[in-house]
Amino acid sequence: MTTTNGSNEAIPTLQLLDPQGNRVTTRGTKGYRDRAAALTAEDLRGMYRDMVLTRRFDDEATSLQRQGELALFAPARGQEAAQVGSAHALRPQDYVFPSYREHGVLHVRGLDPVDRLRFFRGSDHGGWNPTEHNTSVYTIVIGAHTLHATGYAMGVQRDGTPHDKNDGTAVITYFGDGATSQGDVNEAMIYAAVNDAPVVFFLQNNQWAISEPTSRQTKIPLYKRGEAFGLPSLRVDGNDVLAVYAATQEALERARTGQGPSFIEAFTYRMGAHTTSDDPTRYRTSEQEEQWRRRDPIDRLAALLRAEGALDADFDAEIKAEGDELGAQLRDGVRALDGGSAVASTFDDVYATPHGVVAAERAWYEAYEAGDPPASQYAIADSAQGGAR
């Protein structure tokens, strides 16, 4: 498959499943086709279930925000294949650094759906313990987490983790096209490249950095950014779950076996708004949106499953029932969240061991909340450090 940029230049793009749900045989893709062919019917049904439930999560969260139950939400509609396909290639020991839109990745990693909305409710600064699922919390500062991912990957190296495609450890970090303009992302790729860090840079190019199209961010295809830093780089059809899975599996195995970092550009489309505070009708056309609706990643996989006899009315009904259960869980769980613990939790995990200054700052804040603050938080901190600040 090839796509074009603004100048109609052909851009090679890995595709294994076309928009009509047909498997694609293209010269030079046999290695990827073999990886996709190893997926069983149950594997594909599992991916389909995860994509449908991710969209239900997305729709329910958007509705909750419209009802005033969430302060904000960043929808992922249209990006389910990029997220679910890549997440299915991960192993439990791999570590994930998401941005703020990776709801499908978090679903596959097994995070509680209500916990995923604590941040958007304002009841928590993160929402979950990263060590429980080897998945970091949402990152709102654009691109900052790519440095965290690279640093963690360098730590994996220094821990002496074995180089093995199954038992080794890889790190993956997700970010959008707008983040490629941030210095942090470019610095992260420099460090990753020169240190051969076991990290995969997974770019979801949904073509819009809020209202800025990709054409106003770059004059070359974004996967070439990775090539510029010496990273093996590939562009895939981000609405093709098979291509995403195969490309990510290859890159993760490269990382686990000590062959260094990789860069994947999943070319997709954000079918909804950037966040619930955004109005995309102000900067893009309904014709463009309809064009991409015809490339819906869920419909594409459904067509394949039906053609191969793996999707019937009973399975559809089963997933719908799971979606209804998920919706009820979200509505009840989010409304029951306490909105008052967020600030105090800031002090919980600053250091791995108890720290006098942090304890003093917590004491000052708790006294402040109680209506009886000390004269100065710094006086408490000075006391904790023996008078020296």
Strands 10-12 and 2-4: antiparallel
Residue 162 has pLDDT above 50, yes or no: yes
228-254 residue pLDDT tens:
999 999 999 999 999 999 999 999 999
Residues 330 and 349 in one domain: no
Residues 329 and 379 in one domain: no
Catalytic machinery residues:
270, 274, 283
Residues 346 and 326 in one domain: no
Q: What pLDDT score was predicted for residue 350?
A: 86
Residues 98 and 212 in one domain: yes
Residue 389 has pLDDT above 60, yes or no: no
Mean pLDDT value across residues 181-196? 97
Residues 105 and 23 in one domain: yes
Structure tokens at 208: 């819009």
Residue 9 has pLDDT above 80, yes or no: no
Residue 1 sits at the vertex; the CA angle it makes with 213 and 24, to the nearest 5 degrees, is 135
Q: Are 136 and 123 in contact (CB under 8 A)?
A: no
Q: Given 316, 335, 354, which residue is the final one in a domain? A: 335
Residues 219 and 83 in one domain: yes
Structure tokens at 47: 């991916």
Q: What pLDDT score was predicted for residue 388?
A: 47
- For the four alpha carbons of 239, 245, 250 and 252, in that order, the dihedral sign comes to positive
Structure tokens at 355: 């720290």
Q: What pLDDT score was predicted for residue 20?
A: 96
Query: Domain holding 328: CATH number?
Result: 3.40.50.970
Residues 360 and 257 in one domain: no
337-371 residue pLDDT tens:
976 556 777 888 889 899 999 999 998 888 888 88
Q: What pLDDT score was predicted for residue 7?
A: 43
H-helix segments, 159-215: 183-195
Phi, psi angle pair for 239, to nearest 5°: -100, 5
Residues 154 and 213 in one domain: yes
Residue 386 has pLDDT above 90, yes or no: no
Nearby residues of 237 by Cβ (< 8 Å), 6 or more positions away: 1, 13, 14, 15, 17, 243, 244, 266, 267
Residues 178 and 290 in one domain: yes
Beta strands in 75-228 (DSSP E): 95-97, 171-176, 199-205, 208-209, 212-213
Q: Which domain holds residue 356?
A: 341-389
What is the total count of domains within the chain?
A: 2
Q: Given 335, 351, 373, which residue is the final one in a domain? A: 335
Residue 215 has pLDDT above 70, yes or no: yes
Residues 246 and 350 in one domain: no
Residues 27 and 172 in one domain: yes
Beta strands in the chain (DSSP E): 2-4, 10-12, 95-97, 171-176, 199-205, 208-209, 212-213, 233-237, 262-267
- Of 98-107, 157-166, 186-195, minimum mean pLDDT range: 157-166
Structure tokens at 170: 């890889």
Q: Which amino acid is at 217?
A: Q
Q: Given 290, 308, 335, which residue is the final one in a domain? A: 335
110-131 residue pLDDT tens:
999 999 999 999 888 888 999 9
Residues 346 and 381 in one domain: yes
Q: What pLDDT score was predicted for residue 213?
A: 92
More confident residue, 378 or 17: 17
Q: Could you tell me the pLDDT band of residue 6, with boundaries at 50, 70 and 90?
A: very low
